[in-house]
């Protein structure tokens, strides 16, 4: 089972995006997606951005993750 967390694209270098997972930055290949821009939200799996998300859906998902993590920390 995979759990996916949206990441925000903060930089693009060719076919590689630097994405931000809530303060943790990683590289992600963007070969499989069209028209990825800085500020977009993407789902990353095994180092590849596999889906773009609209900002509203991404922020809702991030909020849900924060709630899950806070419950797990209790």
In this predicted structure, the answer to whether residue 2 has a pLDDT above a threshold of 70 is: no
63 within some domain? yes
Question: Any idea what the CATH number is for the domain that residue 17 is in?
Answer: 2.30.30.140
In this predicted structure, the answer to whether residue 1 has a pLDDT above a threshold of 60 is: no
1 within some domain? no
Tens digits of per-residue pLDDT, 12-45? 999 999 999 989 999 999 999 999 999 999 999 9
20 within some domain? yes
53 within some domain? yes
Residue 47: which domain range?
Answer: 6-73
Buried-exposed string 23-53: b where 16+ CB fall within 10 A, e elsewhere: eeeeebbbeebeebeeebbbbbeeeebeebb
> Which is more confident, 48 or 2?
48
Q: What's the structural domain count of the chain? A: 1
pTM score, whole prediction: 0.85
28 within some domain? yes
């Amino acid at each position: 089972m995979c759990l996916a967390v949206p990441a925000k694209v903060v930089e693009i270098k060719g076919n590689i995006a630097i994405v931000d997972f809530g303060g943790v930055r990683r590289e992600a290949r963007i070969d499989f997606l069209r028209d990825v821009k800085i500020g977009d939200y993407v789902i990353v799996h095994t180092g590849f951005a596999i889906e773009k998300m609209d900002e509203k859906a991404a922020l809702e998902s991030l909020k849900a993750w924060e709630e899950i993590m806070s419950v797990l920390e209790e």
